[in-house]
Amino acid sequence: MNILIPFAKPIIDDEEFDAVKAVLESGMLAEGKVSRELEKEYATFVGSKFATVTSNGTTALSTALDAMGVKPGDEVITSPFTFIASANSIAMVGAVPIFIDVDPDTYNMDPNLIEGAITEKTTAIMPVHIFGLPSDMNRIMEIAQKHDLQVIEDACQAHGAKVGNQIVGSIGHTAAFSFYATKNMMTGEGGMITTNDEEIMDRALMIKNHGRGKQGGYSHFQIGYNNRMMDIVSALGRVQLKRLPKVTEIRRKNAERYNKLFSEFDEVTPQAEPEGLQSSYHVYAPKIKSDKISRDDLIKEFRERDVGARTVYALPCHKQDTYINIQNWRWAKFVNYPDYSNISLPHSEEVGGSHFDIPVHPSLTDDQINIIENAVREILS
Ligand SMILES: Cc1ncc(COP(=O)(O)O)c(C=O)c1O
């Protein structure tokens, strides 16, 4: 079927073409000067002391965890209601994802459940700012400080989102961002680590680049990976970063319009945006609870009206075969994993079963938003 209004639409303009062309013409395609510029600009934007690019958001998370000293057998408390890369990055360093339930209104990790999940093996907490809404970072940082734990923000969906006046990525000990093709700031594939901790950044730089020292060359000091990002890609990122404040503003305006619309319908509840938190609205994801129409039929009805609606994470991480069958994972020989099949996290399952996502991206025209609004009225009235 031809979907008239796509769920996501990357903005690629003359500026992107020119920036990529300049890198191609320079003949220096791999990570170098342009990436250093993007890192400086991104750190300034976020308000963190240090930033480094990575090949994608997953490697940003795994590299940062590794650089923080999270090691095999450690437990990392995280949210199950997320893209599986959040949990997988924990498993990739040999650590154990410990899922706690989400708040049913914000869909983010419920901070009231953190202390009950802490054991002597816990070394870190990974809040995920889902759909662009920051987690309750003030509470999470307080708890982390009390128990001497580190915090890594999974900010892969939350470029420019705010907690008070702080932009996410500057609050936890580290943060990871994704520049995947559909993200608010995108480069196709790409990622970024931010931190205020110089030692963590130094370790991250080694880990992402085969354990090379700062001087480069062919002296290597530890096992590392190739998690670098190309300058061609960073060139796109620099243009996208300049555009990000405007993009966020438009997404927030579109979301406000939808919030107003859905206030007319008791059966629909938008994702809450608690006082003091500002979502980047990567995804606009209200929940539907109705005797008349199921979530999946609602999405079908939207799509029949050429609205690219969808849902994600119907199966939260603990319900995925990856974790049900974790004993097949190579680290399971050395690390004790919980039996994830016994875990019930009702709020994450409820959110996964009831949210529907409609286009909120900045390229939506007024006419398209009108089509979406009319579709909502037609389907729900
Ligand atoms: C919450 C979350 N974490 C991690 C990732 C992983 O990022 P990437 O796809 O760039 O590896 C994503 C990307 O979709 C994400 O949405």
Q: Which atom of ligand 1 is nearest to the CA of 59?
A: 11
Q: Each residue's pLDDT tens digit in the chain (381 positions)?
A: 556 899 999 999 999 999 999 999 999 999 999 999 999 999 999 999 999 999 999 999 999 999 999 999 999 999 999 999 999 999 999 999 999 999 999 999 999 999 999 999 999 999 999 999 999 999 999 999 999 999 999 999 999 999 999 999 999 999 999 999 999 999 999 999 999 999 999 999 999 999 998 888 999 999 999 999 999 999 999 999 999 999 999 999 999 999 999 999 999 999 999 999 999 999 999 999 999 999 999 999 999 999 999 999 999 999 999 999 999 999 999 999 999 999 999 999 999 999 999 999 999 999 999 999 999 999 999
Q: What residues contact 142, with CB distance under 8 A and at least 6 apart?
A: none
Q: Could you tell me the distance, in angstroms and rounded to a whole number, from the CA of residue 121 to the centre of ligand 1?
A: 26
pLDDT for 251 equals 98
Q: Which two tokens stand for residue 133?
A: 């809404």
Task: Domain ranges for the chain, please list them.
Answer: 14-240
Start-end of H helices in the chain:
14-26, 33-46, 57-67, 85-92, 114-117, 137-146, 198-207, 231-262, 295-304, 321-324, 346-354, 366-380
Could you tell me which of 80, 255, 266, 252 has the C-alpha nearest to residue 161? 252
Q: Whose CA is nearest to atom 7 of ligand 1?
A: 57
pLDDT for 214 equals 80
**Helix H or strand E encompassing 162:** strand 162-163
pLDDT for 2 equals 56
Site to substitute for ligand 1 among 83, 109, 184, most atoms within 8 A of C-beta: 83
Q: Which two tokens stand for residue 210?
A: 């085969």
Q: Which amino acid is at 74?
A: D
Model-wide pTM > 0.85: yes
Q: Which atom of ligand 1 is nearest to the CA of 182?
A: 14
* Residue list, ligand 1 pocket, CB within 6 Å: 56-58, 82-83, 85-86, 128, 154, 156-157, 178, 180, 191
Secondary structure (DSSP) of 92-132: HTT-EEEE-PBPTTT-SB-GGGHHHH--TTEEEEE-B-GGG
Q: Could you tell me the distance, in angstroms and rounded to a whole number, from the CA of residue 89 to the centre of ligand 1?
A: 10
pLDDT for 215 equals 83
Q: Could you tell me the distance, in angstroms and rounded to a whole number, from the CA of residue 82 to the centre of ligand 1?
A: 9
Q: Whose CA is nearest to atom 14 of ligand 1?
A: 83
Q: Which atom of ligand 1 is nearest to the CA of 61?
A: 4
Q: Could you tell me the distance, in angstroms and rounded to a whole number, from the CA of residue 189 to the centre of ligand 1?
A: 10
What's the CATH class of domain 14-240? alpha beta
Q: How many CA atoms lie within 13 A of 337 on its CB side?
A: 27
pLDDT for 3 equals 62
pLDDT for 216 equals 85
Q: Could you tell me the distance, in angstroms and rounded to a whole number, from the CA of residue 183 to the centre of ligand 1?
A: 9
